[in-house]
Amino acid sequence: MNHLVKSKKQNLRLYLFGILSVFLLSITTFAHGVAEGDKGYIQEITGVNIFPFIYLGAKHMFTGYDHILFLLGVIFFLYKLKDIGIYVTLFAIGHSTTMLLGVYFGTNINSFLIDAIIGLSVVYKALDNLGAFQRWFGFQPNTKVMTLVFGLFHGFGLATKIQEYEISREGLIPNMLAFNLGVEIGQLLALATILIAMSYWRKTDSFLKHAYTANVLMMIAGFMLIGYQLTDYFVN
């Protein structure tokens, strides 16, 4: 009987690992993609279009798996809403600043390099959650500062993708503010989904046991994203 239970648990773990592997592969493949339909629509319209840009911002953040993965890492071991609010606000300040300024001034940074740095942010957060910096290097980076800094890079990633829309300069500022509002709405929706899932998982006996594995998988996803983007950078 015990053998059957143990076998079922092993099969369940392999099944979950398979699902996570497919999910991680999708992260490296589809992160930051600009849908052709969205791109065509934006290229055709001019002037102030508040609601379409709110929708695009929310859609981009909610389906931006690299952003969500970093956000998951940030709140993984945060239990108090106050702490979650502080870190999410720092991340929002960072990506909002560089996104708005990057688009307004037309700052054009290679998207592959930016996405590779975003992948690095995921690796950093996974290593931080694993306590690797203290164990391996004997120091602990300031987590609030790092969240803000990587938020700035995530914002450059957003700015790069927005510029791929080739949007009209007419109504640019209100449209970008609307897009940023959409990004924050998408981030809140993603955050709420993560927190609900995490709240149930944390109540189980398996949370602390599998937290290590989850962060190792997160680190692997970050390295996969880095490798994928750097390959595209050197090939293209």
**Residue position matching structure tokens 């009209």:** 168
SS3 content of the chain, % helix, strand, coil (to 5): 80, 0, 20
196-to-1, 69, 72, 181, 192 alpha-carbon distances in Å: 34, 15, 12, 23, 6
Taking alpha carbons only, the member of 120, 122, 123, 110 closest to residue 161 is: 110
Q: What is the pTM (predicted TM-score) of this model?
A: 0.85
| Averaged pLDDT of the chain | 85
Mean pLDDT of 67-76: 94
User: Where are the chain's structural domains?
Assistant: 2-235
119 pLDDT above the threshold of 70: yes
91 pLDDT above the threshold of 80: yes
Q: pLDDT digits over 155-173, tens only?
A: 999 998 888 777 888 889 9
What the block records as the tokens of 236 is 């293209």
The helix (run of H) or strand (run of E) holding residue 99 is helix 81-104
Of residues 47 and 24, which shows the higher confidence score? Answer: 47
Question: Count of CB atoms within 10 A of residue 45's CB?
Answer: 15
What the block records as the tokens of 137 is 């290097």
